[in-house]
Amino acid sequence: MSLRYIIFRNLRKNLKSYYLYVFALIFSVALYFSFVTLQYDPSMDEVAASTKGAAAIGTSSVLLIAIVGIFLLYANTIFIKRRSKEIGLFQLVGLTKGRIFGILSAENCILYFGSMAVGVLIGFLGSKLVLMILFKILGVDAMTKLYFSPMALVQTLIVFAVLYLLIMLMNYAFIKAQSILSLFRVTAKAEQQVQKMSIAQIIIGILGIVLIVFGYVLSARMFSGEALDMQQLMYMMMLILFSVILGTYLFYKGSVSFLFNLIRKSKNGYLTIHEVLSLSSIMFRMKSNALLLTIITTVSALAIGMLSLSYISYYSAEAQAKESLPEDFSFAQASVKNRFVAELEEKQIPYEEKHRQPIYIELDAREVMDDSLTEELLFSSVVSDNMVDDIDLEPGEVVFMGYGSAIKQMISIQEKGPIVLHGSKQTIDQQLIGTTKQGVLPVYYTKGMPVAVVDETVYQQLQKDLDPELQEGEPTDYYGVHIVDGKQAEEAYGVFKEQQLTAPSFSQIEFRNNQRTNMGLIMFIVGFLGLTFLITSGCILYFKQMNESEEEKPSYTILRKLGFTQGNLLHGIQLKQVFNFGIPLVVGLSHSYFAVKSGWFFFGTELVTPTVIVMILYTLLYSIFGLLSVWYYRRVIKEAL
Partner 1 sequence: MWILEAKKISKVYGNKLNKQEVLKGIDLGVGKGEFVGIMGPSGSGKTTLLNVLSSIDRVSQGSIEIEGKEFTGMKEKQLAEFRKHHLGFIFQEYNLLDTLTVKENVLLPLSITSVPKQEAHRKFEQIARELGIYELKDKYPSEISGGQKQRTSAARAFVHDPSIIFADEPTGALDSKSASDLLGKLSEMNIKHQATIVMVTHDPVAASYCSRVIFIRDGQIYTQLNKGDESRQSFFNDIIKTQGVLGGVQQ
Residue 547 interacting with partner 1 (CB under 8 A): no
Residue 192 interacting with partner 1 (CB under 8 A): yes
Q: Give least dist CB 571 to partner 1, A.
A: 13
Residue 568 interacting with partner 1 (CB under 8 A): yes
Q: Give least dist CB 284 to partner 1, A.
A: 6
Which 3 state secondary structure label does DSSP give 283?
Answer: helix
Selected from 18, 311, 314, 564, the binder of partner 1 by CB under 8 A is 564
Residue 191 interacting with partner 1 (CB under 8 A): yes
In eight-state DSSP terms, residue 387 is: G
Residue 448 interacting with partner 1 (CB under 8 A): no
Residue 558 interacting with partner 1 (CB under 8 A): yes
Opening angle at CA 168, ends 552 and 121, nearest 5: 90
CB 151 within 8 A of CB 38: no
Tell me the number of residues near partner 1 by CB under 8 A. 33
Nearer to partner 1, 282 or 535 (CB): 282
Residue 273 interacting with partner 1 (CB under 8 A): yes
Residue 96 interacting with partner 1 (CB under 8 A): no
The residue type of 577 is Q
Q: Give least dist CB 157 to partner 1, A.
A: 46
Q: Determine the Cα–Cα distance for residues 448 and 169; give it in Å rounded to an integer.
A: 57
Q: Determine the Cα–Cα distance for residues 248 and 448; give it in Å rounded to an integer.
A: 37
Q: CB-based burial of residue 404 (10 Å sphere; 0-12 exposed, 13-18 middle, 19+ buried)? A: buried
The residue type of 322 is K
Q: Give least dist CB 576 to partner 1, A.
A: 11
Q: Determine the Cα–Cα distance for residues 554 and 190; give it in Å rounded to an integer.
A: 11
Q: Give least dist CB 278 to partner 1, A.
A: 11
Residue 566 interacting with partner 1 (CB under 8 A): yes
Residue 281 interacting with partner 1 (CB under 8 A): yes
Residue 561 interacting with partner 1 (CB under 8 A): yes
How many Cβ atoms sit within 10 Å of the Cβ of residue 50?
15
Residue 608 interacting with partner 1 (CB under 8 A): no
CB 185 within 8 A of CB 81: no
Q: HEC profile for 347-383? A: CCCCEEEEEECCEEEEEECCCCECCCCCCCCEEEEEE
Residue 567 interacting with partner 1 (CB under 8 A): yes
Nearer to partner 1, 93 or 194 (CB): 194
Q: Give least dist CB 198 to partner 1, A.
A: 13
CA dihedral 434, 436, 441, 442 (to 10 degrees): 140
Task: Using alpha carbons, list the distances in angstroms from residue 204 to 214, 254, 318, 337, 575.
Answer: 15, 5, 47, 67, 25
- Supply the angle between the helices 53-82 and 150-177 in degrees, to the nearest 10: 30
**Could you tell me which residues are beta bridge partners of residue 383?**
453
Q: Determine the Cα–Cα distance for residues 540 and 44; give it in Å rounded to an integer.
A: 34
Nearer to partner 1, 217 or 262 (CB): 262
Selected from 555, 590, 619, 623, the binder of partner 1 by CB under 8 A is 555
Q: Give least dist CB 610 to partner 1, A.
A: 42
The residue type of 433 is I
Candidates 347-355, 500-508, 552-560, 597-605: pick the segment binding partner 1 (CB under 8 A).
552-560
Residue 194 interacting with partner 1 (CB under 8 A): yes
Q: Give least dist CB 206 to partner 1, A.
A: 21
Residue 278 interacting with partner 1 (CB under 8 A): no
CB 536 within 8 A of CB 24: yes
Residue 563 interacting with partner 1 (CB under 8 A): yes
Q: CB-based burial of residue 77 (10 Å sphere; 0-12 exposed, 13-18 middle, 19+ buried)? A: middle
Selected from 70, 137, 271, 466, the binder of partner 1 by CB under 8 A is 271
Q: Give least dist CB 258 to partner 1, A.
A: 16
- Residue 363 has φ and ψ, to the nearest 5°, of -135, 155
Comparing C-alpha atoms, which of 120, 86, 78 is closest to residue 103?
86
Selected from 195, 231, 266, 348, the binder of partner 1 by CB under 8 A is 195
Q: Give least dist CB 61 to partner 1, A.
A: 44
Q: Give least dist CB 280 to partner 1, A.
A: 4
Selected from 181, 230, 266, 269, the binder of partner 1 by CB under 8 A is 269
Binders in 511-540 for partner 1, by CB under 8 A: none
Task: Using alpha carbons, list the distances in angstroms from residue 49 to 46, 52, 498, 521, 522.
Answer: 5, 6, 19, 13, 15
Selected from 20, 163, 283, 495, the binder of partner 1 by CB under 8 A is 283
Nearer to partner 1, 171 or 281 (CB): 281
Which 3 state secondary structure label does DSSP give 516?
Answer: helix
Candidates 193-201, 213-221, 476-484, 583-591: pick the segment binding partner 1 (CB under 8 A).
193-201
Which 3 state secondary structure label does DSSP give 507?
Answer: strand
**Which residues contact partner 1 (rule: CB under 8 A)?**
190-196, 268-273, 276, 280-281, 283-284, 554-555, 557-568, 641
